Amino acid sequence: MGSPASSADRRDLTTDDYVPGGATQTAVKILVVGHFAVGKTTFIGSISEIEPLSTEETMTRVSESVDDLKGVRGKTTTTVALDFGRLTLSERVVLYLFGTPGQTRFVQMWEDMARGALGALILVDPERLADSFPVIDLIEQYGLDYAIAVNHFDGNPERAERALREALDLLDETPVVTCDARNEQSSAAALTTLVRYLLDRAS
Amino acid sequence: MRAGGEDFEFEPVDLVRAYVITKGRELPDDQELSLITLVTAAPTEGRRPTRLTPEEERLLDICSAGYLSVAEVAGHTRLPLGVVRIVLASLTESGHLMTRPPVPRARNADKDLLEEVLNGLTRKFG
């Protein structure tokens, strides 16, 4: 899944676009990560209360002198799309879900994303386990606690989980759940599993 | 930028545009304007001063009807995140914008927040 289809025309914002009770809200975020086309955007779309948004971060090496346009000219830029959604959970907490591709080279973006995140849900496709290695490495590198959600699943869950734990070299305590990213309840259940785990770790 | 002599070359349009919008300012380096910092327009008495740039006006307009995260402001305006952060930083500095940065992470705060998140998810999705 790539970015959500973007409607080129800018619409005016309505009340629903704003954070309900924003003046008292604390914003928290959880990352939804995984390799290309694993279903991150679908997952976010299935439980977000707003239509998922996408923003672009342009990856450039910051020029030594910003006044020196000549210096800026030579830089190569890469654009990375961040997809995200929102869930207002109470009058005190609003949760943002950020979906991000697992490319290792966008260090700057990862630092932005990981800083202050409660944890990460790693979506994996059992047919493409090797594609998840770099993503898991990154999440571990940034010290984020995570749970694994197996998307696109159809088969024997118990045998699959054993094989998957072994293949991904997971700790025994790392939660593994299957989910259908298109389904709201299923996505919510995966998220709940992650948060329970994070709470256990914090206690 | 001097347009003369043989050094003259056209800048890529996007870069120039971003540079002009941000008035050449650098990215704010603190967490004041993180992805999930909530922002809203500060209450104004009467008319807004007219010294704002078109982008400042536009972003302030979007922020005038409630709170949005920095990421949402970028998503709705389709401006690059970096540009949005710089313009919002400028608006904050000039007192036009109020920000609610996320709480710094600490074990205890985390636990309370996580409990709140868990309860919220359970309430919402059963």
Query: How do residues A56-91 score in pLDDT, each as one tens digit?
Result: 776 654 434 444 444 444 455 666 788 999 999 999
Residue of chain A with shortest Cα separation from B71? A55
> Has residue B103 been placed in a domain?
yes
| Burial B80-119, CB ≥16 within 10 A → b, else e | bbbbbbbbbbbbbeeebbbbbbbeeeeeeebeebbebbbe
Angle at Cα B27 formed by Cα B25 and Cα B29, nearest 5°?
130
A145-193 pLDDT tens trace: 999 999 876 766 667 788 899 999 999 999 999 999 999 999 999 999 9
> Has residue B20 been placed in a domain?
yes
CATH number at residue B38: 1.10.10.10
A74-83 pLDDT tens trace: 455 666 788 9
> Has residue B3 been placed in a domain?
no
Average pLDDT, chain B: 81
pLDDT of amino acid B25: 66
Q: Chain B window 57-116: which residues touch A at a Cβ cutoff of 8 Å? A: 62, 65-69, 71-72, 74-78, 80-82, 84, 100, 102-105, 107, 110-111, 113-116
- Contact between chains at B119 and A22 (C-beta distance less than 8 A): no
> Has residue B73 been placed in a domain?
yes
> Has residue B2 been placed in a domain?
no
- Contact between chains at B116 and A93 (C-beta distance less than 8 A): yes
- ipTM of this complex > 0.90? no
Shortest CA gap A53–chain B (Å): 5
> Has residue B5 been placed in a domain?
no
> Has residue B41 been placed in a domain?
yes
A108-137 pLDDT tens trace: 777 888 888 999 999 999 888 899 998 999
> Has residue B79 been placed in a domain?
yes
State how many domains chain B has: 1
CB of A150 within 8 A of CB of A126? yes
How many H helices and E strands in chain B?
Answer: 5, 3
- Domain of B49? 14-125
